[in-house]
Structure 1
Amino acid sequence: MKQVVTFGEIMMRLSPPLHYRMSQASSLDVTYGGGDANVGAALAHLGVPAAHVGCFPDNAVGQAAAQHFRGHGVDMRHCVFRGERLGLYFLEVGASLRASRIVYDRYDSAFANLQPEWFKWDEILKDAQWLHWTGITPAISASAAQATREAIAAARRRGLTVSADVNYRRNLWQYGQRAQDVMPELVAGCDLVVCTEGDAEDLFGIKPEAGAENSFVSMSEQLMARFPNIRQVIATRRATQSASHERIKGLAYAEGHYHETGFFDINPVVDRIGGGDAFISGFIYGRLHLPTVPEALTFATAASALKHTISGDINVVTPAEVHHIVAGNTTGRLLR
């Protein structure tokens, strides 16, 4: 099987142990993650060959971040090691009524300062069948946006499937270009997008039609009309009960048909970070291995639900474990 290739920034994550507040912490737990790379790592655990492309500082911290993903089975040979700084984020994990909080420290990272010519996309993608990116990547810098543009163009030349989680984060777009000016060209090269009604309005000015029976279908139809390459739109719906209790279901619009799953109930939530990445990686796996969109959607939503029970950014689950949940085995009984 050919690879799924992801492109984006990897950061160091620092968290107080035991649900401590930052003000209580005398130590911080270290792991690494990034929206795009988390997808690749989750796919590797699902048995799908995955490679990640990024830029790390040329020092021991950069090597440690890359090694973390190699340890999850991700091919990192196309990564570049230049620059001095790895982006950081600090996560204070909430509980019950107290929400989790994140503080980012990613300015002037090695990835933000990458040069597009460092990445020879036709060579990188020669063993690939799929390219995945997120809206975080072109938000980081003009050069990262240009590299994303070139990756998508190469993927389309080579006939790869291209997917994106549009993931609009308003505060990231700080380098003088608006997301509304950059993202449409990039999304135009996609076959599959993760996009909510809110993201569609913020990025593309698309609103569900007044009186529409289903706002997600209305948005998806308009998105596909605007960007004819798009064949599938997916998203999750959340019914958050507290920081420790979440309910999620999956939505999809594909080939003129709407699909949704039932809710998966997660209580207690161990770690919310990476839940969306687990969803799209599960859907990619499903489209590669399962016969129908509804089956892929159910697999993806179950994978995301499982991620909420796992510490760290990466969904460390096997296909058998996801299928076990899909089959209704959600009581958490001891497996021997």
Structure 2
Amino acid sequence: MSKVVTFGEIMLRLAPPGFLRFSQTNNFDVVYGGGESNVAVSLANYGVSVDFVTRLPNNDIGQCAMMEMRKRGVGVDKIVYGGDRLGIYFLETGAVSRGSKVVYDRAHSAIAEVESGMIDWDSVFEGVEWFHWTGITPAISQGAADVCLEAVKAASAKGITISTDLNYRAKLWNYGGDREAIMTELTSYCDIILGNEEDAEKHFGIHPEGLDVHKHGHDVKAEAFLSVCKQMMEKFPRAKKVITTLRGSISASHNTWAGVLYDGSKMYETRQYQITDIVDRVGGGDSFMGGLIYGLLKYPEDDQNALDFAVAASCLKHTIKGDANLATIAEVEKLMGGDASGRVAR
């Protein structure tokens, strides 16, 4: 199967145990994760050859982040070192009607201070057939945006398939960069675009025609997002597929989950899953992207099967503590087949 490269930030996640609030806890659980590193872990878990590229501080914490990737089977030899610190985010896990909270402490992280020329993309992309980035990376700093642009240009010149998860983050983009201009240029190089209605609206001013999703709560219909997919393809003619995840938030503990894929002529839709008693929803979109890349590589002529795999994989991620999805192919395919019993495997 093809070799994949992902590029972005990996952070130290600190979270109170269980459902404790920040003000209640005396200790934090430690996890390493980030959008592109989570995708890399999913792919490695499915047996795909994948390298994660980032910039880490050359200290013990940076080494711990690197070792977490290595432990999961992700290639780490293209990581560059420099800077003084790893970015941190604090997570307070919500429940029922209380939503989760995230507090970022990632200013002046090693990747935030990355600069053009620090990464040898010609070497990174040797033998590579797929490159993935997310909208989080250019939101970190102008330097990170510049290096991401270097990457997509180099990948495009080599004929590498490029994918993105648009991933709008309201608490980022605070360095003064022109978000729409930066994201438009970067996305123009992409063959595969994943994003929900908020991503499309915030980055490009695109929204579902005739629908206010904020007023429809958890009752989201796939047909309503066809207009978003079509508008995205009009704006980005290189794109071969536009994919939207459909999350309905009944409560912090109960979501509905489905997906839509549009290939320019046909819209594919998955079944809607009911995800109750959520263990950890962080990384849900990343697990979808990891499953989608794997599905498109394994089933290149079967978009429906690829989409079904992505949605089932991300459903299982909601049952796994931490940022990354550790579900197996067998578990994903079992859920795809309709078995959601959760019976003990003996």
TM-score (norm 1): 0.96
CA distance in 1, matches of 2:228, 2:16: 40
CA distance in 2, matches of 1:241, 1:208: 21
Q: SS of 1:237's equivalent?
A: strand
Deviation of 1:171 after TM superposition, in Å, equals 3.0
CA distance in 2, matches of 1:214, 1:105: 39
- Does residue 230 of the first structure (1) align with residue 213 of the second (2)? no
CA distance in 2, matches of 1:96, 1:262: 24
* Aligned equivalent of 2:157: 157
Deviation of 1:135 after TM superposition, in Å, equals 0.3
In the alignment, structure 2 segments of 5+ residues that lack a partner are: 212-221
CA distance in 2, matches of 1:209, 1:99: 28
- Does residue 260 of the first structure (1) align with residue 269 of the second (2)? yes
CA distance in 2, matches of 1:216, 1:256: 14
> 1:162-241, aligned counterparts within 5 Å?
162-209=162-209, 214-241=223-250
* Aligned equivalent of 1:300: 310
* Aligned equivalent of 1:326: 336
Deviation of 1:98 after TM superposition, in Å, equals 2.1
Q: SS of 2:90's equivalent?
A: strand
Deviation of 1:208 after TM superposition, in Å, equals 3.9
- Does residue 130 of the first structure (1) align with residue 140 of the second (2)? no
Deviation of 1:209 after TM superposition, in Å, equals 4.3
Equivalent pairs, count = 335
* AA matched with 1:263: Q
> 1:8-87, aligned counterparts within 5 Å?
8-87=8-87
* Aligned equivalent of 2:93: 93
Maintained 8 Å contact 2:233/2:264: no
Q: SS of 2:171's equivalent?
A: helix
Deviation of 1:264 after TM superposition, in Å, equals 1.1
* RMSD between superposed Cα atoms in Å: 1.4
Maintained 8 Å contact 2:152/2:189: yes
* Aligned equivalent of 2:323: 313
Maintained 8 Å contact 1:197/1:215: no
TM-score (norm 2): 0.94
Identity %: 47
User: Does the C-alpha gap of structure 1 residues 58 and 95 become closer, same or farther in structure 2, counting only changes over 3 Å?
Assistant: same
Deviation of 1:210 after TM superposition, in Å, equals 5.2
CA distance in 2, matches of 1:310, 1:61: 24
1:151-200 deviation digits (Å, cap 9, x = unpaired): 00111111111000011123311222121111101000000111223322
CA distance in 2, matches of 1:210, 1:216: 10
